[in-house]
Amino acid sequence: MVAARTDERVVIASGADAAADALSGEDRLGDSETYAQVKSVLGDDMEPGSLVSMPALLELVSSHAAGDEEFAKVKPYLEAFGVVASGSETEGGRAHARAAAALK
């Protein structure tokens, strides 16, 4: 697992090559379907502070957990989720935070 950043991007990727691709690519998270799903699940025009695409995470974990009986037990439950996100905003001197998940 590699975590890397530039002035404009932060990525967590499986390996140095994947991180380099993500940092140099033209695609932007804010333009993706995943980001649109997160915005929808948080609602109220709240900006996401964190997001996890469960299908992408499960794909990554599954490749490393093949044959793990404990993972095999929880995987069906995790597959029920689309995106998991949190966000916050400040309005009128009050902070509002929200965590939400989309079910498939």
Tokens 């044959």 appear where? 67
Q: How far apart are CA 82 and CA 5, in angstroms?
A: 25
The residues, any chain, with a CB within 8 Å of residue 21's CB and separated by 6 or more, are 13
pTM for this model (two decimals): 0.75
Burial class (CB in 10 A: 0-12, 13-18, 19+), 87: buried
Contacts of 90 by beta carbon, 8 Å cutoff, 6+ apart: 96
Residue-level pLDDT at 82:
94
**4 closest CA partner among 26, 32, 17, 23:** 23
pLDDT tens over the chain, length 104 residues = 899 988 888 888 888 998 888 888 888 888 899 999 999 999 878 889 999 999 999 998 998 898 899 999 999 999 999 999 999 988 899 999 999 999 98
pLDDT at 63: 86
User: Per-domain residue ranges for the chain?
Assistant: 1-27, 32-103
